[in-house]
Amino acid sequence: MPAESFIVPELGTSFPNSFAKMLIDYIYLRWSYTTGVLAKPVAMQGQTQELEFRTGMVSDFKSLQITTLQGPTQVKEIIQTGQKRYSMLTMVAVTLRVSLLQRDSPDPILSDMEKEIRRLCGQYQVSNGMTGIKDLIYDGGDRQYMTTDSFDKSDWRSIEKVWMWYEYADVS
């Protein structure tokens, strides 16, 4: 097996998990709601609680979900100091889903979920964050109103864009 040519300096290797997995683990670990429908469950997924945290696409079987999917990566800067360093940004889409059985606006719940994602990005600190990730950059959100749900307004989603900033060093 060939040696890796890019490493994360803080790790001495590449990242062991995908960015989507790293971010959902961070969101779950730092989730601040402890009561009500948005209370952090004992486990990220598979529990009887309503709120679920996981990577991948949203499912139709849970009424409250937070999912992550990795998006594009950009090289922002290349620094040549004997060992080439790449300053990188990878976007992770965080999908928030609220599905209510009654015909009602879930806006307070979805809005609270959106605020929590913004808080987690804004208060990110390297010292108690994800090893190798220098910062989280919130890049806005977009409410998704499902076309198949135009009558009862029971399925509401928001997709929040979060950029993860990190460095790779070329050791080849």
Query: Which tens digits make up the pLDDT trace of 134-166?
Result: 999 999 999 887 655 555 567 788 999 999 999
Percent of the chain with pLDDT over 70: 87
Which of 64-68, 80-84, 163-167 is predicted with the least confidence, judged by mean pLDDT?
Answer: 80-84
Better-scored residue on pLDDT, 61 or 10: 10
Residue range 19-28: average pLDDT? 97
Q: Considering the domain 6-170 in this protein, what is its CATH number? A: 3.30.2000.10
1, pLDDT greater than 50: no
5, pLDDT greater than 90: no
Query: Which tens digits make up the pLDDT trace of 85-144?
Result: 899 999 999 999 988 765 556 568 889 999 999 999 999 998 888 999 999 999 999 988
> Would you give the distance in Å from CA 83 to the centre of its chain?
31
Q: How far is CA 132 from CA 1, 8, 40, 150, 159, in A?
A: 24, 6, 26, 43, 25
If we measure between CA atoms, which residue out of 115, 97, 95, 111 comes closest to residue 160? Answer: 95
Rounded-to-integer distance, Cα 152 and Cα 149, Å: 6
Rounded-to-integer distance, Cα 117 and Cα 158, Å: 11
**Taking a C-beta distance cutoff of 8 angstroms, is the pair 39, 54 a contact?**
no
